[in-house]
Structure 1
Amino acid sequence: MENSTNKTSGKCPFMHGSNTAAEKSVTEWWPKSLNLDILHQHDTKTNPLGEHFNYKDALKTLDVDALKADLRELLTTSQSWWPGDWGSYLGMMARVAWHAAGTYRLADGRGGAGTGNQRFAPLNSWPDNANTDKGRRLLWPIKKKYGNKISWADLIILAGTLAYEIAGLKTFGFAFGREDIWHPEKDVYWGAEKEWLASSNNRYDDVETPETLENPLAAVQMGLIYVNPEGVNGKPDPLKTAAMIRETFKRMAMDDEETAALTAGGHTIGKSHGNGNADDLTPAPEGTNIEFQGLGWMNTKSRGIGRNVLAGGPEGAWTTNPTKWDGGYFEMLLDHDWELTKSPAGALQYKPVNIKDENKPVDVEDASILTMPMMTDADMAMKVDPIYRDYMEKFRADHDYFSDTFARAWFKLTHRDMGPKDRYLGPDVPTEDLIWQDPVPKGNTNYDVEAVKAKIAATNLTIGELVSTAWDSARTFRGSDFRGGANGARIRLEPQKSWQGNEPEKLQKVLHVLQPIASEFNISIADTIVLAGNVGVEKAIKNAGLHVNVPFEKGRGDATDAMTDAESFEPLEPVADGFRNWLKQEYAVTPEEMLLDRAQLMGLTAAEMTVLIGGMRVLGTNYGNTKHGVFTNNEGALTNDFFVHLTDMDYQWKPATNGIFNIVERSTGNTKFTATRVDLVFGSNSILRAYAEVYAQDDSKEKFVNDFVAAWTKVMNSDRFDVK
C-alpha cells in the first residue's frame, strides 16, 4: 500500500489535453467519416448576447456623431504603449480594415469583413496580419464605451474609412449592419498547406499561369491577403507579380482600374514596417504565452515600437507625406528609377536611385530625421505592366478622378460581402445603386394571393416542375455574402437561364406558363415562381392526406439585365445540388461533401438539410426526373417514405455502377429502388441517421411535413432582407 501511494502522489489528477485540440477528432480517427462541423456554424449557443439580441435594434440607439468624434480623437492621439506613426494611426487603421475586408473571394462569397472574423484564428495570426492585433486593442476603449450598439465588424471598417477622411479623402459612404460571430469560421477553406507562406506552387497547377490558382482561393500563399510583396515565391519580377495581382483581384470581383486605384490609394497613407529582427518576436497571437493576453509579435529582446516596429518585412513609406491624401504615390513611383535592396528585416524591396531630400518622408518619431522611401514588387508591377501603368498616369493627371475611383473601390472592398442594399444601415448609406449590390426593384404587394395560387394550380405543370423551378431560383442564395436567391427572378436572365443545373428547356416551359399569370395579376415573376413552388408543396401535402398552408411573403421584384452583373454571377452557378440529386460532372470531392457546402452557404442546419432532402425526393424534383432516392410508390405526396425505406432493414444496399446503388429486397433479391451517395449518407452517417430515424418514426408524419414547410419557407425567404 505504501509503495502504491508513492507511485501516484506526484501525478496530476487531470487528463492533459483531453478538453483541447490535443485529443483526436472523429474525422482524424476515421478519415472517411463525413464532417458535419460546417453546418454547426449556424449554432447560436456560442453567442454571449443571447437569441433575443437584435443588432439592428441596438444600432438605432447608437449616437453615430459621438462615435465618429471619439474615433477621430483616437486616430490622431498617439498611445505610449504602441505609438502611432507620425503621431497618428491613419495608416494602421486603414490596414486593419483593408486586411479584414481583403479576404473576401467571389467564388464562394466567404471571407471579408462582415463578421469580425479577424478577431479569431487563423486570421488573427496570419503572417500578413502581423500587428493588426495592436489596431484592435487600440479600438477597444471605443468598443467598450459603445458596447453592443456597435459590432467589432462595423467598428473596424468605420475606423479605416475615417482614417482616409482624416487624411483628406472624400469617402463614398459607409453602412452599418455587420454582425459579429463568436467563434472561428470552420466553413472557410483557406488552403491545404500545413505551413505559413508555403510555396505558391502548392496552390497552382502552373505558377506561371495565375488562372490555375486553386478555387475558391484568392491569395497566392497561405497566410497572405493577396500577393507576396517581394515577388512570386519571394523572387522579384514585377511583370509576373502584375499577372498574379490581376488574377487575385479578379477573384475579389475587382477590375484593373479598381485594382490600380486600390493599390495606389492603399499606399498613399501609412508605411510598411520591417525595422527589426523576426527572431526577436514572440509567436503570433494564437500561439503566444498567456501573459501577453492575446497580443502577438511582441519584441522582448530589443526595442519594438515606433521606428523599430516589425510586421510584414519591407521597411519604409511610399510617399513623402504618408498622413496626407495626395498624389504623392504617383510622383514617387513614376518620377524615380528604382533598384533592389533589402530592409533591416531582410525583405527584398526597392529604393529610388536618386531622390532629393525634400522628397524623403520623415522619421515616424523625429521629424528632423529623413528616411528612405520604398516600393514593393507589387508597386513596381503598377509601373511596368502597361495596363496598370496607363491607370497610374491617368490618376496622376486627374487627382479628383483618382480620389473618386478609389473612394468607390474602397466602398466596394469594404461592403461587397454585405449583400443587397436592404442590409445597409445608418446615416451615411449612399443613395446611388451600384450594380455589384445586385439591385432589385420593389415588387407589387397589392394582389390576392389565393387567386394567383388558384390560377397556378389550374395549369398543367406538375408538382415536380413547380417545386424544382422555385428551388432553382432560390438555391443560389449564399449566406456568405448574401447574394443570390429568388428575389429578382434572375433565373430568367443570363447567365442563370442557361445554367445546366437549371435544366434550361424545362425552365423555359415553366416560365412560359407562369409569365402570363404574373402579367394578369400585375405581380413580379419572382413572386409568381415562389408561389408556384408553394402550390406544388401544398398539392403534395394534400396528396399525403394532410392540410398545411405554406407561408408566403409578398413583394419580390424583378431585376433586369441592366441591373445584373452577369460576369459576377457566374461563380454562383451550382456544379452540384444534392437536394435535386445532381452532379454536373464527377469531382474529386464526394457528392455528400458538396451537399454540405451548398447547405451551409444556404444557411441550413443539418436537420433542415435532412428534412429537405427527404421531401424533395418524394416530390419528384430530381434533375432529369431520375428516380434515384425516390424511395416511394406515391411520388408527388409529401410523405416520410424516403426515411421509412432508408432505415428499413428488410433491404440491402449494394453498389452498382457510376456511384449508383441498388436497394435490394432481402427476401426476393429484387431491386426495389436505386440511390446515390447523397441518399445513402443519411443512413450511414451516425449524426444524419439520427435525424433520419426521427422522421422515419410512425408518429413523425405530421412533424415531417411541418418541418419541411418551415425549412422550405426559410429557403424561399432567405434573401428577403427588405422584410427582415
Structure 2
Amino acid sequence: MENNTSSAGKCPFMHGSNTEVGKSVTDWWPNALNLDILHQHDRKTDPMGGDFDYHKALKKLDVAALKQDLRELITSSQEWWPSDWGSYVGMFARVAWHTAGSYRVADGRGGAGTGNQRFAPLNSWPDNVNTDKGRRLLWPIKKKYGNKISWADLIILAGTIAYEVAGLKTYGFAFGRKDIWHPEKDTYWGAEKEWLAPSDGRYEDVGKPDSMENPLAAVQMGLIYVNPEGVNGQPDPQKTADQVRETFARMAMDDEETVALTAGGHTIGKCHGNGRAEDLSPEPEAADVEYQGLGWFNTKGRGIGRDTVVSGIEGAWTTNPTQWDMGYFEMLFGHEWELKKSPAGAWQWEPVSIKDDEMPVDVEDASIRHKPIMTDADMAMKVDPIYNQICQKFMADPAYFDDCFARAWFKLTHRDMGPKSRYYGPDVPKEDLIWQDPVPEGPTHYDIGHLKSLIAASGLSIADMVSTAWDSARTFRGSDYRGGANGARIRLAPQKDWVGNEPERLQRVLSVLEPLAAQVGASIADTIVLAGSLGVEMAARAAGVNIDVPFAPGRGDATDAMTDADSFSVLEPLADGFRNWLKQKYVVTPEEMLLDRAQLMGLTAPEMTVLIGGMRVLGTNYGGRKEGVFTDREGVLSNDFFVNLTDMAYRWEPAGDNLYNIVDRRSGETRWTATRVDLVFGSNSILRAYSEVYAQDDNQEKFVKDFVKAWVKVMNADRFDLK
C-alpha cells in the first residue's frame, strides 16, 4: 500500500450525502418535468402493509375508553410540558385547529384528513410552534390504542374532546381518516424562499385580498390563516378583516362561520409570548438528534408555563380561558382597546382599563392576574361592520352561537373527509349537510345488459359516450374526496355550463341517455358511466381485443337542492390534458397542469400515460380537435399513439403557441399535429419509458387491459361503497 498520510483516518462514508441537500435532477435541470407528485404516497412508505384495513381496525376501538383517556389527559399536567391552568384544552384545540386549518377549497389539499402535521413542512411552520408538544402529549394514548386509531383521527378527536371538557356541546365526530407516512412535499404552499416573508408576493395587490394567488389561502408562508399582528405585521383591524374574509372563504367558510370560529377558537386557551423568539432552539426539522423530533425549546430559560413563546403575543382572551362561555364577546365589546407590545415585541391590543377580577389569572399562580389581549384579527370582528353585526347576533342569542360554533368546528375538522359514506363511529351526525355533497342511494336491480343494448343502438358515437363519462368523472379529487361521477352533477348547475364540458355536446348526449335510464329504472349517473364503458368495449373489439369493462351499479342522482353550486365552482377544470384542452394560456405549462389533474384523480404515472394514449385514439379531444390523434383508425383502442410518437421516421417542429407538426422525414409532409402534452410522453425520459412499453409489438393487448383498468379506477374513484 502507498503511504498516503493525507487520507489517514478518513471515513470512507460520503459525508452529508443523506442529510444535506444535494443536486437533484430538478436542481441540475430546473425545467425538467418533475413526476414526484404522482408518487408522493408510494406504498413503500407505508409500514402497515397492503393487507392492513384501517376501517376494519376501527371496529375494534373502544371509543368510550378512548374518550375517557383523553379527558383525563386534558385535565392533567405533565412536568416536561406543564398545562396552562392545569388544563390542555387550549393546547389540543390549537393542534386540531392548525391541522384542519391548512385546508384550502381551491384544490382540496391540506386539512386534517391524513395526519400530515406530523411531517415537514407543516410540523415546522412558524405558525405551528409547539404543536409538536401537543402531539407528543398524545403519544401514550396512540401507543395504547395502536392501529385502532390513526394519528389523523386522534388529533381531531382530542381537539373535539377539549371543547367538550371546556363545556361545549359538540355537533359530532367521525372516525375514518387514514394516516400518510411521508411528507406531502409536492403540495404547493407558495413560492417564497423564507418563512413569514411579506405577503405582497402572493397578491397582485396586497390591498385587494381577492387577488391572492390561487390555490393559496394563508396570507404568508408558514401561517395557517392571517398574521395576528395585522397585514404584514402592521396593525389595522379593517385591513385585517378584509384578509380574514378572503382567507376563510378560501377555506370554505362564510362570514358567520368565520366569526363563530374566531370567537369560539379564542374563547379557550391563550397566546404565548413571554420571552425572546431568538432564544428558541431550531424547529423540529432543523433540530439535532438530541431533541428527538421536538423543536422550539428555550435555550436561555425555562420556556414552559408562563415563560412559553409561540406567536410572540402574550395573554389570554377571556377571564376564564378553560371554560366555554360568552367571555370572548364580553371582553371584546366590554372594553376599549389600545395597541401595546408584548414581552416578545409583538403587536397586541390590551384594554385601556379593566377591573382586576375580569383579568385572567396566571397559568401557574392563581394569585397573579394579567391583562387580557386581542389580536388584530380579533379587533377585526369589532371593527368590520358585517362581522360586528354577526357578533351582536351571537351575543343576543348564546345558544345560537354555541350551535353555530359546534357546526363550524365540525365542518372545519371534517371538510376534507368527503361524503358521509366515509364517516365511521357512534357520533356521526344523522343530518345531511350540503357541504358534504350528499348523493341519494342509487338503484341496482335493473337490467344492465338491456340498458347497454339500448345505448349501443342509440346512435351515439364512441367519442360521445367516452367523453361524457370522462367529463362526469374527472372532477373527482382525492385531496378532499369531492367530485366524481356519482350524483351525475354534470347535468346540474354549474357543471352543465362549464366550457370544458362542451355544453352543447353534453346536452345532446344527455338528451339521449336520460330517457334510456328512465326506461330501465337506472340512475342517470350509472347510465353515463355505462355508456362510456360500452364505448371502450366497442373500441377494444375494433382493435381485436374482446374485453368486458367492469361495471358496478348503484350511483345515485343528486338534485339542485343537494348541490351548493357556488361550492362546486372550484371544481371546474381549467385544463384537461386527457382531452387535450386548455381554457386559456397559463403561467404553468400544460404538462404541469396535466400532472396536477392526474394527482388529484389519484392516478400513477403509468396510469396517466395509458389513459392519454387511449383517449387520443378514441377521438375524445375537446371539440374534436386532431392534435395528438396519431392514428388513421380513430375510434379503435389501438396503441397507435405510442407507436407513432416513438417512430423515428418523423421529426417534430414547433408550429405555433403550444402547437407542433409531426413531419415525415422523407417527404417533408406534416403527418400529424401535437401539443406539449402529447410530446412530453416522448421527451420526458420517464414517460418515454412507459410509452415505449405500450409501443412494443407484443403489448397491444396489454395496452387495452391497462387502459380498461385505469378507466375503471377513474369511473369508480368516488364509489366509496366499493372500497
CA contact (8 A) 1:38 1:596 kept: yes
1:401-433 deviation line (CA, Å, top 9, x unaligned): 000000000000000000011000011000000
Question: Percent identity among equivalent residues?
Answer: 75
What is aligned with 1:302? 301
Distance 1:584 1:278 in 2: 47
CA contact (8 A) 1:435 1:564 kept: yes
Distance 1:581 1:406 in 2: 45
What is aligned with 1:163? 162
Compare 40-49 and 139-148 and name the one that shifted more: 40-49
Q: Which amino acid aligns with 2:622?
A: Y
1:78-477 to 2 correspondence within 5 Å? 78-477=77-476
Distance 2:470 2:186 in 1: 23
What is aligned with 2:481? 482
Query: Residue 533 of structure 2 aligns to a residue in which SS?
Result: helix
User: Deviation of residue 19 (structure 1)?
Assistant: 2.9
What is aligned with 2:594? 595
User: Deviation of residue 264 (structure 1)?
Assistant: 0.2
Query: Residue 721 of structure 2 aligns to a residue in which SS?
Result: coil
Instruction: Work out whether 1:546 is the aligned partner of 2:534.
Output: no
User: Deviation of residue 22 (structure 1)?
Assistant: 2.5
Q: Which amino acid aligns with 1:41?
A: Q
Instruction: Work out whether 1:637 is the aligned partner of 2:636.
Output: yes
User: Deviation of residue 362 (structure 1)?
Assistant: 0.6
1:447-502 deviation line (CA, Å, top 9, x unaligned): 11111011000011100000000000000000000000000000000000000000
Q: Which amino acid aligns with 2:669?
A: N
CA contact (8 A) 2:104 2:216 kept: yes
What is aligned with 1:707? 706
What is aligned with 1:13? 12
Distance 1:80 1:18 in 2: 38
Distance 1:503 1:313 in 2: 53
1:505-556 deviation line (CA, Å, top 9, x unaligned): 0000000000000110111100000000011101101111110000001100
Q: Which amino acid aligns with 1:546?
A: V
What is aligned with 1:618? 617
CA contact (8 A) 2:434 2:564 kept: yes
User: Deviation of residue 276 (structure 1)?
Assistant: 0.6
What is aligned with 2:608? 609
List structure 1 runs of 4+ shifted beyond 4 angstroms. Answer: none
Distance 1:287 1:69 in 2: 35
Q: Which amino acid aligns with 1:254?
A: M
What is aligned with 2:664? 665
Distance 2:279 2:140 in 1: 29
Q: Which amino acid aligns with 2:413?
A: T
Distance 2:156 2:383 in 1: 32
User: Deviation of residue 25 (structure 1)?
Assistant: 1.0
What is aligned with 1:509? 508
Query: Residue 163 of structure 2 aligns to a residue in which SS?
Result: helix
CA contact (8 A) 2:41 2:181 kept: no
Query: Residue 340 of structure 1 aligns to a residue in which SS?
Result: strand
Distance 2:40 2:465 in 1: 31
Number of matched pairs:
723
Distance 1:640 1:43 in 2: 28
User: Deviation of residue 592 (structure 1)?
Assistant: 0.3
Distance 2:298 2:345 in 1: 17
Q: Which amino acid aligns with 1:663?
A: I
1:28-75 deviation line (CA, Å, top 9, x unaligned): 101111000000124211000001111011101111111111111111
Distance 2:41 2:421 in 1: 22
User: Deviation of residue 18 (structure 1)?
Assistant: 2.2
Distance 2:124 2:177 in 1: 22
Distance 1:188 1:95 in 2: 23
Distance 2:313 2:114 in 1: 30
Distance 2:42 2:611 in 1: 19
1:321-379 deviation line (CA, Å, top 9, x unaligned): 00100000000000100000011111000110110111111111111111110000000
Distance 1:578 1:655 in 2: 19
Distance 2:25 2:323 in 1: 54
Distance 1:323 1:234 in 2: 28
User: Deviation of residue 253 (structure 1)?
Assistant: 1.1
CA contact (8 A) 1:173 1:430 kept: yes
What is aligned with 2:555? 556
CA contact (8 A) 1:37 1:186 kept: no
Distance 1:199 1:22 in 2: 26
Q: Which amino acid aligns with 1:639?
A: S
1:708-723 to 2 correspondence within 5 Å? 708-723=707-722
Distance 1:640 1:393 in 2: 66
Q: Which amino acid aligns with 2:569?
A: E
User: Deviation of residue 21 (structure 1)?
Assistant: 4.4
CA contact (8 A) 2:41 2:182 kept: no
Instruction: Work out whether 1:492 is the aligned partner of 2:511.
Output: no
Compare 9-18 and 529-538 and name the one that shifted more: 9-18
Distance 1:382 1:519 in 2: 52
Distance 2:23 2:495 in 1: 43
CA contact (8 A) 1:592 1:678 kept: yes
1:277-322 deviation line (CA, Å, top 9, x unaligned): 1121101110012101111000121111111111111000000000
Query: Residue 285 of structure 1 aligns to a residue in which SS?
Result: coil
Q: Which amino acid aligns with 1:439?
A: P
Distance 1:647 1:676 in 2: 15
Q: Which amino acid aligns with 1:363?
A: D
Q: Which amino acid aligns with 1:481?
A: D
Distance 2:120 2:31 in 1: 26
User: Deviation of residue 12 (structure 1)?
Assistant: 2.4
CA contact (8 A) 1:127 1:196 kept: yes
Unaligned stretches of 5+ residues in structure 1:
none
Distance 2:665 2:201 in 1: 49
User: Deviation of residue 147 (structure 1)?
Assistant: 0.6
CA contact (8 A) 1:488 1:557 kept: yes
TM (normalized to structure 2)? Answer: 0.99
Distance 2:418 2:21 in 1: 38
User: Deviation of residue 127 (structure 1)?
Assistant: 0.4
Distance 2:245 2:318 in 1: 24
CA contact (8 A) 2:121 2:185 kept: no
Query: Residue 663 of structure 2 aligns to a residue in which SS?
Result: strand
Distance 1:41 1:496 in 2: 30
Query: Residue 655 of structure 1 aligns to a residue in which SS?
Result: strand
Distance 1:288 1:629 in 2: 50
Distance 2:409 2:337 in 1: 28
Compare 146-155 and 299-308 and name the one that shifted more: 299-308
Pairwise CA RMSD of aligned residues? 0.8
